[in-house]
Amino acid sequence: MPMEVVRGRSWGRPELAPGPLDHAFFEAAARGELWYQRCPACGHAQFYPRALCTACGGNPVWATASGRGVVHSFTIVRQNGQPPFKDELPYAVAMIELEEGVRMMGNVTDCPVESVRIGMSVEAYAVECGDGLAVPFWRPAASP
């Protein structure tokens, strides 16, 4: 099932400046797909995107993740003077372990920060940020 993509919300954050390796990741997010890399030679899954498989040196290709994962680790940010972040305090930044085994960092939203726990089931959604790109965020899974 594709990720929900929130469109038309003011981004307000620093503009993305994706490079040649990760531009496709943010384009896929704008279509509701959460991408990671998989190596056709050895099956290794990896994220962030790299030119070579870190296990065998092969050429990784993009794969679409389920968008489901669990909180592997997290922190609660209580001080940030920069807009728009200062208006969102406190907020949770987490390392999410996807069902596919790779980890992605992102904000956990749509719940009180006090309820975020290691092992908590989360699902990805994306927020459009202009130029046909979107950034994945995380929220408590609808069906844990």
**Widest Cα–Cα separation across the chain:** 46
Q: How far is the CB of 40 from Zn ion (least distance, A)?
A: 8
User: What single DSSP character describes residue 117?
Assistant: -
Q: How far is the CB of 140 from Zn ion (least distance, A)?
A: 34
Which of 44, 72, 103, 139 touches Zn ion by CB under 5 A?
Answer: 44
The Cα–Cα gap between 24 and 57 comes to 21
- The DSSP bridge partners found for residue 105 are 95
Which of 4, 5, 16, 58 touches Zn ion by CB under 5 A?
Answer: 58
* Sites for Zn ion among residues 93-132 (CB under 5 A): none
Which of 39, 40, 23, 47 is CA-nearest to residue 96?
Answer: 47
Q: Is 18 among the residues that bind Zn ion (CB under 5 A)?
A: no
Which residues of the chain form contacts with Zn ion (CB under 5 A)?
39, 41-42, 44, 53, 55-56, 58
